């Protein structure tokens, strides 16, 4: 029997944080370039909306049918198998892989057949030409379901074996392939792309390139699996998979995912219906992608490193260990999420103009995306806190509480969205959708914090709250000079890409410097911990 020794949150981060953070940074950096290229090639209107809708569908279906369950179940199940079985849980992992491959293959085939119906669910208010193009894209994109599932399990197997780098670096390959596809599309497209007017070659470049990227991202994990000694062997003795024991837990997780998807369907339809069906799905999606960048680079790295440790602590009944690890993650991530919020709120519009106002994306479209980004950014810290707290619940094998809380906040999100959708003018309706999103996660983070206090020992809870309060105060104080300077520069240099670049280059360092000075004066020690993870960071003095 093999027992995996627990690791504290800080030691786990110290061991793997740099490799993971660099991989995630490379992944999100190329993902950012990918977004810029696709926005340049497709714009934020006709073809851009169709592409975004179709490319979202396999992700949504994967989450709805298996992905959410996998992400919540696989790590705890693999850790338990490694703890109880003599082979480090290898045979058990092979069974899970076989089940996922069979189920997702069947789902992908059925989804391709019913692509028109699926697209109608997510965008029934879109223009007919957009829907037709989205269906065409979806038939190529839906086979990604299989590779998303296999990649998720590959990554979980590697994480349980303390191998974190490969899953963080693999998306870089995906992004590079899509970037090449976007550039190729631009080269062969000599006029503004419009739904219903694309050639077969233009469609194939985008469709095959996007799916090929997902396939390559999954295949790239195979060498890492071999390095940790895992063998890909199909297992058909599914009775020993132990899924029945996880049935109630998986059921609540499925309810959580269904709630998310129902909420997304409503939001997607609202975004598609803006401006008489012309839609702002692309604007909403591009803003969301930019909003997610700081969370993905830092918070996802922290969550990935700490989740196995939290699960091991919970398996031993050590709730204090779960709380301590969670406190480490919340405090450390806050040091990045709060200044990122500062920059996105104050400079969100210039950022979007700089990266998006090129090619077939107009200046007004980029500015509209910036306004949505600012609304999203307000919820960056609450969103990150919610996701970390969610992992604590899952580590303790409680999925019922997250599902009920998620049901509540999704209802709040939709209520706010619908009210603002009715009240706001056309050009601000997408902003209202983002406001509802941010507000719902603020509520969710507060509810989770209160509920967790009753379940686990509140290790360093007061310290975490004090740290976040100090960070927020520092960000607010730094925000005033940053905003004034940015506004002055925008008026002097203009609101186009050049003026936005000048604004960001000057105002962003000033804002960060002011923030760091105040954080240093407030003695937020997580700043030193974060700098210690960066080469040469210990030598920095502010």
**Considering the chain, what is the average pLDDT of its residues?**
82
The pLDDT > 70 percentage for the chain reads 82
Rounded Cα distance, 322 and 325, in Å: 5
Per DSSP, 65 falls in state: I
Name which of 291, 308, 270, 301 is nearest 392 in CA terms: 308
| pLDDT reported for residue 448 | 92
Rounded Cα distance, 269 and 330, in Å: 34
Rounded Cα distance, 85 and 66, in Å: 25
Number of helices (H), then strands (E), in the chain: 21, 0
pLDDT tens figures, 32-58: 888 888 888 887 667 877 888 888 777
pLDDT tens figures, 2-30: 333 334 445 555 455 555 667 777 877 88
3-state helix, strand, coil in the chain (%, to 5): 80, 0, 20
Model confidence at 530: pLDDT above 80: no
Model confidence at 290: pLDDT above 50: yes
For range 73-91, the mean pLDDT: 70
pLDDT tens figures, 207-262: 999 999 999 999 999 999 999 888 888 888 776 665 565 667 777 877 887 888 78
Could you tell me which residue, 314 or 454, shows the higher pLDDT? 314
- Can you tell me whether residue 357 is helix, strand or coil? coil
Domain annotation covers residue 379? no
For range 152-178, the mean pLDDT: 84
- Can you tell me whether residue 124 is helix, strand or coil? coil
Model confidence at 473: pLDDT above 90: yes
Name which of 103, 112, 390 is nearest 243 in CA terms: 103
HSE (side-chain half, CA atoms, 13 Å) at 301:
33
Domain annotation covers residue 166? yes
Q: Is residue 492 exposed (0-12), middle (13-18) or buried (19+ Cβ within 10 Å)?
A: exposed
Rounded Cα distance, 2 and 86, in Å: 6
pLDDT tens figures, 168-206: 788 899 999 999 999 999 999 878 888 778 888 999 999
For range 157-165, the mean pLDDT: 78
Q: Is residue 536 exposed (0-12), middle (13-18) or buried (19+ Cβ within 10 Å)?
A: exposed
Sign, CA torsion 257/258/261/263: negative
| pLDDT reported for residue 253 | 79
Model confidence at 407: pLDDT above 90: yes
User: Tokens standing for 218?
Assistant: 């999954």
DSSP labels, 273-334:
HTTTTT--HHHHHHHHHHHHHHIIIIIHHHHHHHHHHHHHHHHTT-HHHHHHHHHHHHHHHH
List of residues 6+ apart from 378 with CB closer than 8 A: 341, 345, 435, 438
Q: Is residue 151 exposed (0-12), middle (13-18) or buried (19+ Cβ within 10 Å)?
A: buried
Model confidence at 421: pLDDT above 60: yes
Domain annotation covers residue 128? yes
The band of 1, judged by pLDDT with boundaries at 50, 70 and 90, is very low
Q: Which domain holds residue 138?
A: 45-279
| pLDDT reported for residue 537 | 47
Per DSSP, 64 falls in state: I
HSE (side-chain half, CA atoms, 13 Å) at 342:
29
State which of 332-336, 407-411, 523-527 shows the largest mean pLDDT.
407-411
Per DSSP, 191 falls in state: S
Per the CB < 8 A criterion, the answer to whether 92 and 85 are in contact is yes
User: Tokens standing for 19?
Assistant: 């490799």
- Can you tell me whether residue 386 is helix, strand or coil? helix
Per DSSP, 101 falls in state: H
- Can you tell me whether residue 525 is helix, strand or coil? coil
C-alpha distances in Å from residue 320, one per residue of 310, 313, 452, 525: 10, 8, 11, 22
Model confidence at 536: pLDDT above 50: no
Domain annotation covers residue 535? no
Model confidence at 534: pLDDT above 70: no
Domain annotation covers residue 434? no
User: Tokens standing for 146?
Assistant: 């299989």
Rounded Cα distance, 143 and 140, in Å: 7
Looking at the structure of the chain, the number of domains it has is 1
The band of 85, judged by pLDDT with boundaries at 50, 70 and 90, is low
Could you tell me which residue, 523 or 517, shows the higher pLDDT? 517
State which of 145-149, 159-163, 473-477, 528-532 shows the largest mean pLDDT.
473-477
Radius of gyration of the CA atoms of the chain, in A: 23
pLDDT tens figures, 329-362: 888 788 889 999 999 999 999 999 998 888 778 8
Domain annotation covers residue 214? yes
Model confidence at 451: pLDDT above 50: yes
State which of 60-64, 480-484, 492-496 shows the largest mean pLDDT.
480-484
HSE (side-chain half, CA atoms, 13 Å) at 360:
24
Domain annotation covers residue 162? yes
| pLDDT reported for residue 380 | 93
The band of 317, judged by pLDDT with boundaries at 50, 70 and 90, is confident
Per the CB < 8 A criterion, the answer to whether 137 and 55 are in contact is yes
List of residues 6+ apart from 492 with CB closer than 8 A: 499
| pLDDT reported for residue 128 | 83
Per DSSP, 428 falls in state: G
The band of 299, judged by pLDDT with boundaries at 50, 70 and 90, is low
């Amino acid at each position: 029997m093999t027992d995996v020794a627990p690791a504290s949150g800080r030691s786990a981060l110290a061991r793997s944080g740099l490799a993971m953070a660099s991989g995630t940074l490379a992944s999100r950096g190329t993902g950012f370039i990918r977004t810029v290229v696709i926005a340049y090639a497709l714009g934020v209107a006709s073809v851009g909306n169709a592409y975004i809708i179709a490319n979202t569908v396999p992700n949504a279906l994967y989450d709805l049918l298996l992905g959410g369950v996998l992400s919540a179940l696989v790590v705890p199940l693999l850790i338990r198998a490694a703890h109880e079985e003599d082979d480090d849980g290898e045979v058990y992992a092979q069974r899970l892989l076989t089940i996922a491959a069979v189920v997702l293959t069947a789902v992908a085939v059925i989804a391709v057949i019913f692509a028109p119906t699926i697209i109608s669910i997510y965008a029934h208010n879109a223009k007919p030409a957009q829907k037709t193009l989205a269906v065409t894209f979806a038939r190529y994109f839906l086979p990604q379901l299989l590779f998303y599932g296999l990649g998720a399990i590959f990554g979980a197997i590697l994480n349980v074996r303390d191998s974190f780098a490969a899953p963080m670096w693999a998306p870089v390959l995906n992004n590079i392939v899509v970037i090449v596809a976007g550039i190729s599309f631009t080269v062969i497209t000599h006029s503004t792309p419009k739904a219903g007017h694309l050639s077969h070659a233009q469609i194939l470049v985008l469709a095959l390139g996007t799916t090929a990227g997902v396939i390559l991202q999954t295949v790239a994990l195979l060498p890492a699996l071999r390095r940790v000694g895992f063998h890909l062997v199909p297992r058909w003795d599914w009775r020993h998979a132990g899924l029945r024991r996880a049935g109630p837990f998986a059921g609540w997780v499925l309810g959580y995912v269904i709630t998310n998807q129902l909420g997304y369907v409503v939001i997607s339809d609202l975004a598609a219906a803006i401006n008489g069906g012309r839609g702002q799905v692309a604007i909403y999606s591009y803003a969301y992608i930019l909003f997610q960048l700081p969370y993905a680079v830092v918070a996802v790295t922290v969550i990935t490193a700490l989740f196995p440790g939290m699960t091991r602590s919970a398996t031993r009944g050590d709730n204090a260990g779960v709380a301590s690890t969670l406190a480490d993650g919340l405090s450390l991530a806050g040091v990045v999420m709060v200044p990122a919020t500062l920059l996105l709120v104050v400079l969100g519009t210039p950022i979007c103009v700089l990266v998006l106002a090129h090619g077939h994306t107009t200046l007004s479209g980029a500015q509209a995306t910036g306004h949505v980004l600012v609304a999203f950014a307000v919820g960056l810290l609450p969103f990150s806190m919610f996701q970390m707290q969610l992992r604590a619940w899952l580590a303790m094998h409680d999925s019922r509480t997250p599902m009920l809380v998620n049901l509540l906040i999704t209802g709040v999100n939709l209520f706010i969205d619908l009210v603002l959708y009715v009240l706001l003018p056309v050009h601000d309706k997408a902003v209202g959708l983002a406001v509802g999103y941010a507000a719902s996660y603020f509520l969710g983070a507060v509810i989770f914090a209160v509920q967790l206090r009753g379940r686990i020992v509140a290790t360093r809870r007061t310290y975490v709250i004090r740290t976040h309060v100090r960070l927020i105060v520092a960000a607010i104080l730094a925000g005033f000079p940053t905003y004034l300077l940015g506004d002055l520069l925008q008026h002097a240099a203009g609101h186009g890409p050049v003026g936005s670049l000048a604004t960001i280059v000057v105002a962003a360092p000033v804002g960060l410097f002011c923030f760091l000075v105040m954080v240093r004066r407030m003695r937020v020690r997580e700043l030193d911990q974060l700098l210690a993870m960066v080469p040469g960071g210990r030598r920095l003095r502010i």
